[in-house]
């Protein structure tokens, strides 16, 4: 066991700065000397001094032989991985690297349908032929969670030609599946399993959190250190959990996809975030869990609000629950989650992580101050009191549409000639856009699928109730791109 209190990369950065070298290299601001004084005054000197590049003694992310290598080895040990890669372009690049380094162009690949758009980007980039794992729906909270064991087993049985499986676990709200089952089933049938664990970088460090896919033995796992730990935005890690993947190919793929000038500020943040969790993670997470549990108890005493916790675990659509995610079901107030988010913003100066039609979601992390949680609870008390006795004017949302028929593979439709039609006129046409209402960021149509009435109804409803229909080029989200008919 190495000394996890060490921070080799951060130490090297500090030591380099201490040398006060005459610098004649990138970045052009030259340790802050070229930065405009207004920004320097606001950000402080050390940010610019730390914004280094592959200078003497600081190693290089794409060919690590020194302090980057050491920092990544410490991370691998802290997470129980065979090897860990620091990522400076988020889990987006991690998902793409996992898929591109394991699938050859044109391969069939089994992927969870309700995955992040970065997974779809990889399908297009590598011209892959997806087979979808459809997720269960949490009927209470009205969002999708994960594929049932039955679905998982059936899809694997029916598609022996697909040698790679990609799943997303947990979902944005921290609802997690039985990851052990997926991993064992994939391996028992001779497949590799890749896991988008963007929302689970903290799981490994506390026994009351869902099981991490790294601990379950998945072949590759991607985590956004910036989402649930104290990494800076864009910091993530890719962990290798088995020798079924070619680590040199993973490295080469990352070199192809990521900047050749990786940010040393981001890498420093990763080195320190790992040290923080390895040395004190359990206690920091215990505090976050306690804060969230206390908030749930108090919110559940309020009229019209419901904050579900672990009591719902081990049901069909909820296997386990990340207790640090504070989901509040608000529809019994007669308001949508979007409206409650707006009220919190406007009247109470509270910024939450996201809202959807039925829920709001607050992240309680190792950094969340107790005062922020108190302000949220007070605001919810107030909103609940004001809404008491008021009736809802919100039409019930249409059901989440079934997966439309795929007549072209995503890459075929993506690269096809397109034309723009009114959303309502697109029924029966082959869609060329990945339409993803955000939140929660789950695609409703994927390029190559035939648009249905139910998809259009759902998108129009979501658009008109405040969701941002991401992936649609048209800014008003009234027109969509379809494959041009010959
Ligand atoms: C499930 C999931 N995977 C991947 C990503 C992409 O992560 P990043 O923002 O770190 O690139 C996100 C972002 O929200 C996500 O929710």
* Closest ligand 1 atom number to CA of residue 95: 4
186/153 Cα distance (integer angstroms): 9
Cis peptide bond prior to 81, omega within 30° of 0: no
225: Cβ below 6 Å to ligand 1?
Answer: no
Give the domains, in start order, of the chain with CATH numbers.
79-268 (3.40.640.10), 280-387 (3.90.1150.10), 410-483 (3.90.100.10)
Ligand 1 contact, 168 CB (< 6 A): yes
Q: Which residues contact 22 (CB under 8 A, 6 or more apart)?
A: none
Ligand 1 atom closest to 92 (CA): 11
Q: For 293-321, what is each residue's pLDDT tens digit?
A: 999 999 999 999 999 999 988 888 899 99
Q: HSE on the CB side for 321, CA within 13 Å?
A: 21
pLDDT attached to residue 267: 98
Q: Residue 306 C-alpha to ligand 1 middle, in angstroms?
A: 26
Give the CA count within 13 Å in the CB-facing half-sphere of 411. 15
Residues in the chain: 486
> Count of CB atoms within 10 A of residue 390's CB?
11
Residue 441: the pLDDT is 76
Helix ranges (DSSP H) in 312-452? 337-348, 370-387, 410-415
Residue 390 reports pLDDT greater than 90 = no
What is the band of 142 on the pLDDT scale with cuts at 50, 70, 90?
confident
Pocket perturbation via mutation, ligand 1, pick of 168, 220, 227, 234 by most ligand atoms within 8 A of CB:
227
Contact between 177 and 393 (Cβ < 8 Å): no
Distance from the alpha carbon of residue 207 to the mean position of ligand 1, in angstroms: 24
Ligand 1 pocket check for 112: Cβ under 6 Å: no
Q: How confident is the model at residue 139 (pLDDT cuts 50, 70, 90)?
A: confident
C-alpha 152 – ligand 1 centre gap (Å):
23
Q: Is 429 in the pocket of ligand 1 (CB under 6 A)?
A: no
Residue 63 has pLDDT above 80, yes or no: yes
Q: Is 92 in the pocket of ligand 1 (CB under 6 A)?
A: yes
* Residue 370: DSSP 8-state: H
Helix (H, G, I), strand (E, B) or coil at 242: coil
**Ligand 1 contacts CB of residue 479 (under 6 A):** no
Of 466, 211, 194, 160, nearest to 343 by C-alpha is 466
Q: pLDDT per residue over 95-125, tens digit each?
A: 999 999 999 999 999 999 999 999 999 999 9
77 in Cβ contact with 173 (< 8 Å):
no
Ligand 1 centroid to Cα of residue 45, in Å, is 31
pLDDT in tens, 182-238: 999 999 999 999 999 999 999 999 999 999 999 999 999 999 999 999 999 999 999
196 C-beta closer than 6 A to ligand 1? yes
Edge-to-edge strands, sheet with 325-329: 325-329, 359-363, 354-355
What is the pLDDT at residue 39? 98
Least confident stretch, 44-53, 84-93, 132-141:
132-141
Ligand 1 pocket, 236 CB below 6 A? yes
CA angle 58, 61, 66 (to 5 degrees): 45
Instruction: Tell me the C-alpha to C-alpha distance, in Å, between residue 105 and each of 109, 179, 229, 240, 433.
Output: 10, 27, 35, 22, 21
In this structure, what DSSP letter does residue 450 have? B
Q: Cα–Cα distances in Å, from 459 out to 10, 110, 306, 449?
A: 46, 26, 26, 15
Ligand 1 center to residue 418 CA distance, Å?
28
| Cβ–Cβ under 8 Å, residues 86 and 68 | yes
């Amino acid at each position: 066991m190495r000394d996890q209190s060490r921070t080799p990369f951060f130490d090297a950065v500090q030591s380099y700065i201490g040398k006060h070298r005459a610098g004649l290299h990138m970045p052009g601001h030259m340790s802050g000397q070229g930065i405009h004084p207004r920004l320097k005054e606001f950000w402080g000197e050390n940010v610019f001094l730390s914004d280094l590049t592959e200078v003497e003694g600081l190693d290089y992310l794409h060919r690590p032989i020194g302090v980057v290598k050491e920092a990544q080895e410490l991370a691998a040990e802290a997470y129980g991985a065979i090897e860990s890669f620091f990522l400076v372009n988020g889990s987006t690049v991690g998902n793409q690297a996992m898929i591109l380094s394991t699938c050859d162009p044109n391969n069939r690949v089994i992927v969870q349908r309700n995955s992040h758009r970065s997974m779809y980007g990889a399908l297009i980039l590598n011209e892959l032929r997806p087979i979808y794992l459809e997720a269960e729906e949490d009927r209470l909270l009205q969002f999708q969670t994960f594929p049932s064991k039955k679905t998982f087993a059936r899809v694997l049985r029916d598609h022996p030609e697909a040698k790679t499986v990609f799943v997303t676990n947990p979902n944005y709200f921290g609802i997690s599946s039985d990851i052990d089952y997926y991993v064992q089933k994939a391996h028992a049938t001779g497949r590799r399993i890749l896991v988008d664990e963007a929302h689970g970088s903290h799981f490994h460090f506390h026994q009351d959190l869902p099981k991490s896919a790294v601990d379950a033995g998945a072949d590759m796992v991607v985590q956004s250190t910036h989402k649930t730990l104290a990494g800076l935005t864009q910091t993530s890690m890719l962990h290798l959990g088995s020798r079924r993947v070619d680590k040199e190919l993973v490295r080469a793929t990352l070199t192809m996809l990521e900047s050749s000038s990786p940010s040393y500020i981001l890498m420093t943040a990763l080195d320190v975030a790992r040290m923080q969790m390895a040395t004190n993670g359990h206690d920091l997470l215990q505090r976050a869990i306690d804060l969230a549990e206390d908030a749930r108890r108090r919110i559940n005493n309020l009229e019209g609000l419901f904050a579900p916790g672990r009591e719902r675990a081990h049901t069909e659509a909820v296997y386990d629950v990340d207790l640090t995610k504070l989901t509040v079901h608000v529809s019994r107030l007669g308001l949508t989650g979007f409206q409650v988010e707006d009220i919190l913003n406007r009247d109470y100066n509270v910024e939450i992580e996201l809202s959807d039609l039925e829920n709001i979601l607050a992240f309680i992390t190792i950094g969340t101050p107790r005062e922020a949680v108190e302000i949220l609870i007070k605001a919810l008390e107030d909103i609940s009191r004001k809404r008491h006795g008021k009736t809802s004017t919100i039409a019930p949302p249409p059901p989440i549409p079934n997966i439309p028929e795929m007549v072209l593979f995503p890459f075929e439709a993506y690269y096809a000639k397109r034309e723009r039609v009114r959303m309502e006129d697109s029924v029966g046409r082959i869609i060329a856009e990945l339409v993803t209402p955000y939140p929660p960021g789950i695609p409703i149509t994927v390029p190559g699928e035939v648009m249905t009435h139910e998809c259009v109804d759902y998108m129009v409803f979501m658009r008109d109730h405040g969701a941002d229909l991401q992936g649609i080029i048209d800014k008003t989200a009234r027109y969509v791109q379809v494959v041009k008919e010959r």
